[in-house]
Amino acid sequence: MQKLEYMLKKILIILAGLFILIAIYAIWAFSIRFEVPEGFDLGHDTPPDLVREIYNPIFDDTVTFKKFSAETQGAYTLLEIDLGPGGGNIPHFHQRFKETFIPIKGTLGVEYEGEEYFLEPGDEITAHERETHRFFNPTDERIIFQVRIEPGSAGFEKALYLMYGLAQDGKMHEDGRFKDFNHTALFVKLSDTQAPGLINLIKPFLKRSARKIEESGEADSLLQKYYFNNTRSNDMKVE
């Protein structure tokens, strides 16, 4: 009997220790941030003739950059999105900026902190830093809406060019996930896009992968292809 009690106590101590270690890891993982250099989001390296319209065949949406961060001295980035029926993204949040959603044509769905809102032209809603949100098209027709990012984020702009370019090259799954985990990590760092909940437990691995792809030079190559070379002058050369 005493031996059984001793074994049970030992098991409980081990389980308690494991629980404490898991809790410490979770607190550390949730606190990780993807740091970027000062002035990174001002967009001083934005090409002057950068193509403003990009298309994602996975999401069936077109993004038009009305204003780059560099054009507003970092005050804001302004996007206009043409989104097909049923399209949208997953719940997420940002730490470097807030987003205001402004419908232009049709009904825009926005899930904000767990509540769904259906916006018509003239309405708007703002998701502040660290507030979970997503947008979606609840109708059977295409809709058009704008997203105002404040302060402006050149990193987010670069991330969209990266994502849409990889999608066109077949490097994303049909559900919108990147096929390469390193590409996911780079997108997360550039865009400051983070998912709520237990998925944050993989943030240490994302941060390590982001550092790996940057140190290997692949990040520079991808941005060169999908962002810096995506200019009107290069388009004319192809034509």
pLDDT at site 53: 97
CA distances from 71 to 75, 77, 112, 128 (A): 9, 8, 29, 22
Instruction: Flag whether 137 is in a domain.
Output: yes
- Round the CA-based radius of gyration of the chain to a whole number and report it: 21
State whether the Cα torsion 232-235-237-239 is positive or negative.
negative
Nearest to residue 110, comparing CAs of 96, 128, 126?
Answer: 126
In a domain, 4, yes or no: no
Within a domain: 25? no
At 233 the pLDDT is 73
What is the domain-level CATH number for residue 162? 2.60.120.10
Residue with tokens 């292809």: 225
In a domain, 232, yes or no: yes
Tell me phi and psi for residue 196, to 5 degrees: -80, 165
The residue written with tokens 């009690």 in the block is: 5
pLDDT, position 155: 97
Please report whether residue 109 resides in a domain: yes
C-alpha to C-alpha distance for 181 and 129, rounded to whole angstroms: 25
Is the backbone peptide bond immediately before 151 cis, with ω within 30 degrees of 0? yes
The answer for residues whose C-beta is within 8 angstroms of residue 108's C-beta and 6 or more apart is 101, 118, 119, 120, 135, 137, 143, 145
pLDDT tens for the chain, 239 residues: list them.
Answer: 667 676 777 777 787 778 778 777 677 777 777 788 888 899 999 999 999 999 999 888 999 999 999 999 999 999 999 999 999 999 999 999 999 999 999 999 999 999 999 999 999 999 999 999 999 999 999 999 999 999 999 999 999 999 999 999 999 999 889 999 999 999 999 999 988 887 788 888 899 999 999 999 999 999 999 999 999 876 544 34
The count of domains in the chain is 1
pLDDT at 239: 42
The answer as to whether 205 is a domain residue is yes
| Structural domain boundaries enclosing 69 | 40-238
pLDDT given at position 25: 67
pLDDT score, position 183: 97
Of the candidates 185, 229, 225, 183, the residue with the CA atom closest to the CA atom of residue 203: 185
